[in-house]
Amino acid sequence: MKPHLCDSVFRYYQASQCKPDHFQSGLVVQPSSVLFVYSVIFCAFMPLLCKLYVYTQSYLIFLLNSERERDLQLVRDYKPHKDVEHLRILLHGPPAAGKSSFINSVDSTLRGKTTARALAANAPKSFTIAYRTYKIQKGNPDTFYPFVFNDTMGLQSNDQGIHLEDIKLAISGHVKEDYRFNPKCPLAETDPNYRGSSTFDDKVHILVFVICANTVSLIDDATWRKMNDIRAAARDKGIPQIAIMTKIDEACPEVKKNIKNTYKSKHMNDQMETVNVNLGLPLNCIFLVKNYHKEIETDDGVDSLILKS
């Protein structure tokens, strides 16, 4: 205890006609005396507590930034197998799940500013109607990261979404750039957009299921069956698979309040369990993200979730 604090307490006891040996022996005098002691101690240590709080918050921010920078450096340093020019990542899932927005979000995170190259819309029907490849710029305009994203039409239980066979053809590298999906029938081998001889570079190397976290319970059995059919086709070709759950801030108020609560949220863990049960994907292959959609600046917490996926 600081000398001036002891002196203040001791003088108070003297003023209260309390003998020093009473104070030293720990005898209780008056309730107001005890209250005064606690008040003095609290006031004395308040500046220290405030500094401790500031230092703690600063350290947490430092850890978050360090973690983000570490993950960002891993992406920057990534090099694909020597047999391919770039890693091809195919996104598929229900309409409005956030496939196109996820591509924009990855682009925003890696470039340090929000972008919107892939057209996106929050609509019951798929806004994406053609097979598109997106590269992420790295540094100067002529340099790109060694991976690409392929966007697809939304998957639906009826005949309004992408045809199941078209996704399988895309996995095998038979679908050419800008092919407009036809929900009524799959791409035919006689179509000019059909690539008869596909290289390893044309084929999909990672399959990503994109699912909206706040509508997981609304996905019908027919759509789950289609996704499992696609999962089996990718499995037979030895293609790694993961799931990304988007719109986590809309699905959970706790996450909306603080993005750091994402994996602590019981509700979000329950949603991950639902995907695990319906698709059979391990929980460590299911990732939670928040896409950029209305923000004009990037956020370290949002970036960290995107980089971890």
Which pLDDT tens digit goes with each residue over 45-59?
Answer: 666 666 555 555 554
Determine the Cα–Cα distance for residues 205 and 185; give it in Å rounded to an integer.
25
Closest C-alpha to 20, from 32, 31, 7:
7
Q: What is the pLDDT of residues 131-177, one digit of tens each?
A: 999 999 887 888 899 999 999 999 988 878 899 999 999 999 999 99
Q: Which of 19-28, 96-105, 246-255, 265-274 has the lowest mean pLDDT?
A: 19-28
Contacts with 157 (C-beta within 8 Å, 6 or more apart), sequence order:
220, 222, 223, 226
Overall average pLDDT of the 96-118 stretch: 88
Amino acid 129 reads: I
For residue 93, pLDDT beyond 50? yes
Q: According to the model, what pLDDT value does residue 179 have? A: 95
Which residues are paired to 137 by β-bridges?
144
Determine the Cα–Cα distance for residues 119 and 252; give it in Å rounded to an integer.
26
Q: According to the model, what pLDDT value does residue 174 have? A: 97
Q: Is 173 exposed, middle or buried (0-12, 13-18, 19+ CB in 10 A)?
A: middle
Q: According to the model, what pLDDT value does residue 8 have? A: 44
Q: What is the pTM for the complete model shown?
A: 0.76
For residue 235, pLDDT beyond 80? yes
Q: According to the model, what pLDDT value does residue 29 have? A: 45
Phi and psi torsions of 88, nearest 5°: -100, 120
Closest C-alpha to 206, from 172, 232, 242, 231:
242
Q: According to the model, what pLDDT value does residue 91 have? A: 97
Is residue 223 within 8 Å of residue 94, measured between CB atoms?
Answer: yes
Q: According to the model, what pLDDT value does residue 50 have? A: 62
Percent of the chain with pLDDT over 90: 55
> Would strands 144-151 and 132-137 be described as parallel, antiparallel, or unpaired?
antiparallel
